[in-house]
Amino acid sequence: MPAYAFRLELTHKEVRSSAWITVDASFGSCAIFERVSLLYERETEEACFPPRISVEDAEHRARRGMLRYVLRKRGTKPMIENTLEMRPYYAPVWVYYFYRFGKKIDIAILDGYTGGPMGGQMRVAIINAFIAQGKTDDRAPDLESEGH
């Protein structure tokens, strides 16, 4: 899934620091980003969805998300200054198809880093991405021929 990582400059009095925040490029949610050391440049062989949110919109959401985070903290609150860096990346996600009650197809979404289940927003984003891709592809994926 596409995402953007932003490094924002924070200042408090004369002390400058920075923090990374990530914005999902499909549905726009943001979170403090602690995996920046895992990012590296490479060609992707896996299927990747295109970003649906522009870099400008994502930066706005990152700054707003950082502001919410800062305001929730106790004690002194730093000012959010400049955007120091932006890195687009793709987060690995596992999508499992299965039959529920032997009749209906359902999906489970797992984080490709931790293997843990992902939330409802990611589920909706994945389903919407599949629908959008299906509208642009000539054919929909054939689950039966792929052994699912």
pLDDT at 40: 81
Domain extent at residue 44: 2-90
Question: Does the pLDDT value for residue 140 go beyond 60?
Answer: no
Are 64 and 11 within one domain? yes
Are 33 and 6 within one domain? yes
Are 107 and 65 within one domain? no
Provide φ and ψ at 59, rounded to 5°. Answer: -65, -40
Show the CA angle centred on residue 70, arms to residues 57 and 117, nearest 5°.
70
pLDDT at 122: 81
pLDDT at 137: 61
If one counts the domains in the chain, the total is 2
As a whole-number percent, the residues of the chain with pLDDT over 70 amount to 91
pLDDT at 52: 87
pLDDT at 148: 41
**pTM here?**
0.76
Are 31 and 86 within one domain? yes
Are 40 and 75 within one domain? yes
Q: Which residue has the higher pLDDT, 105 or 6?
A: 6
Nearest of 17, 24, 52 to residue 121 by alpha carbon: 24
Specify burial of residue 138 (Cβ count, 10 A radius: 0-12, 13-18, 19+). exposed
Q: How far apart are CA 25 and CA 6, in angstroms?
A: 12
